[in-house]
Every structure is written in C-alpha cells, then in structure tokens.
Structure 1
Amino acid sequence: MHQKLTKTLFKLFTGELTATIMFGGVWLLFLRMYEWANPYLTSFPPLYAFLFLEFLLLQGSYYWYLKWRQAKHRDFTILPDYHLKFFRILKRVNLFLIGAGFVLLIYESINHSKAYYWTLFLYLFALAEYINYYYIRLSYQSVDEMKDFLRHRKLRRSKLAEELKQLKAISQ
C-alpha cells in the first residue's frame, strides 16, 4: 500500500512538472518553426493565459511533490500549516489572475483578435486546472477511480481543497 501510494504521488508530481516543461518547450518550438504562430504565441492575451496555465501546473507539481515527500517518510497527515497557508495565498493570487484573464478575454472578443479562440482555449484549460487543484477533482487516472466515480455519481473534492478546509477548521 505504502509503495503504491508513493509511486502514484511520484507520478503525479513528475507528470505535472513534465507537462509544464513540455508545454513550454512546444511553445518555444512553435515560435521558432512556424512564422504564422507568432501572433498566436507572442501577443499579450494568449501569452498571459499560457503563463497562468504554467503557473497553475507548477502549483500542482509542488503540491504533489510535498505529498510524495511526506509519503516517503510514512507521514499521511495533511501538509504542515505553513505549506497550506502558502497554497491559500496562491489560491487568492489565482483568483486575481483569473479576473485579469477574464478582462483580457473580453478585450480580445471586442477587438476581434485572431488569437481570441487560442486565448480562450488556454484560459479555459487554466481554469479547469485551477478548479481541479483547489475545488473539485476533475481528473481520474485509474479504472478503479472511474468505477468509484460512476458508482457514486458525484465529483469529489480535490485533496488540496480537503486539506485547505481542514486548515480553516483548525484555525477557527
């Protein structure tokens, strides 16, 4: 059980980190290889949405790294308060960034930018990651997790959301 959990947490943290690096690499590769991609990749709104997505992926990677490190030491408690308070601050920063991104989307739609749909895609992807980390678990990796989801027919709170809720309960 311990070994399986440690392996799963390792895959989660390295998967998020790998995605962050790969997305950045593909972004740069497209900039170098395809001249037509420049307006889609270098104008401010899509770049903002992309960097926000990368920022969220790094948060997820960091969270899973901390949980993996705990599991390696057979510590199955919630994260220490100082880590959870850091994630609570990040959650607030993310809300501000979501609001700014929404304003950019409105601006893009009014100006009929050719990068609007690309920006919208990146923004919605980032929004889904934010919800997945801080509210409701949207990703299910294993067959057993899918069966459990189908059996209960409801989305579960994310692990980070559960821990932040426990921090709030302890603080009160």
Structure 2
Amino acid sequence: MQKKVEKKLLKLFTGELSATIIFALVWIEFLQLYRWTVPYLTSFSSLYAFALLEFILLQGSYYWFLKLKQTKRKDYSHLPYRQLKIFAVFRGFNLFLIGIGIIIMIYQLVVFPIEFFWFVFLYFFAIIEYINYYHIRLSYQSIDEIKELIRQKELRSSKLAKELKTFNNSQKNNNV
C-alpha cells in the first residue's frame, strides 16, 4: 500500500512539474517556429494569463512534492501548519491575480479583440487549475477514479481543499 501511494504521489508531482516545463518549452518553440504566433504569445495579457497558469501549476507540483515527502516518512496526516499557511497565502494571492485577470480581460476585449480568445483560453485554463487544487477535484486519471466519480454522482473536494478547511477551522478555534 505504501509503495502504491508513493507511486501515485510521484506521478502527480512529476506530472504537474513536467506540464509546467513542457508548456513553457512549447510556448518558446511556437515563438521561434511560427512568426504569426508572436503577437498572440507576447502580448501582455497572454503573458499574464500564461504566468498565472504556470504559477498555479507550480503550486500543485509543490503540494504533491510535500505530500510525497510526508508519505515516505509514513506520515499520512495533513501537512504541517507552516506549509498549510503557505498554501492559504497562495490561495488568496491566486484570487487577487484572477481578479486582476478580469480587468485585463475587459481591457483586452476593448483594445485588442483579435488576441482576446487566446487570453481567455489561458486565463480559464488557469482558473480551472485553481479550482482543481483549491476547491473541487476536477481531474480523474484512472478508470477506477472515473467509475468512483460516476457512482458518487458528485464532485469531491480536492485533497488540498480538505486540508485547508481543517487548517482554517483550527485557526478559528485558536482565535476564539
């Protein structure tokens, strides 16, 4: 059981980190190979949405890395207070950045409508990743996970969301 959990966490960690790196490499490659992509990929709004997406993916990778390290120590509890506090700060900062993205979206639509759809694609991809980590689990990787989702007939909270809920409840209890 221990090895199975470690293998899954390693896959999640390396998958998120690999996606972050591959997306950046593909971005750079497209800029070099296809001149027509330059205005789309180098506009402020596209770079903003892409950086937001990469930032959120790195947070996911970091979370799975911490869970992997914890599991290797045979510790299956929530992350320590200090680490959960970091993710609570990330969650708030992400919301701030997503809010700025709404302003950029309005500006983009008015000033540069031709680049609007690329920005929206990246921006919503980042929001979906944010939701996947900090609220509702949206990614299901195996047939067994998909079958379980169908049986439950509802989406589950993400692992990080559950840990942050416990963290927030302990914060409230300490302040009372």
What's the TM-score once normalised by structure 2's chain length? 0.96
Find the counterpart in structure 2 of residue 76 from structure 1: 76
Counting matched residue pairs gives 172
How far off its partner does 1:155 sit?
Answer: 0.3
1:11-160 equivalences under 5 Å are 11-160=11-160
How far off its partner does 1:109 sit?
Answer: 1.1
Q: Which amino acid aligns with 2:89?
A: I
Deviations 1:105-162 (A, max 9, x none): 1111112431110000000000000000000000011111111110110000000000
Aligned mates of 1:27, 1:34 — CA distance in 2: 11
Q: Which moved more, 1:140-149 or 1:43-52?
A: 140-149
Aligned mates of 1:116, 1:59 — CA distance in 2: 26
Aligned mates of 1:103, 1:112 — CA distance in 2: 13
Q: Which moved more, 1:142-151 or 1:59-68?
A: 142-151
What's the TM-score once normalised by structure 1's chain length? 0.98
Give structure 1 stretches of 5+ with no counterpart: none
Q: Percent identity?
A: 54
Give structure 2 stretches of 5+ with no counterpart: none
After TM superposition, where is structure 1 displaced by more than 6 Å over at least 4 residues in a row?
A: none
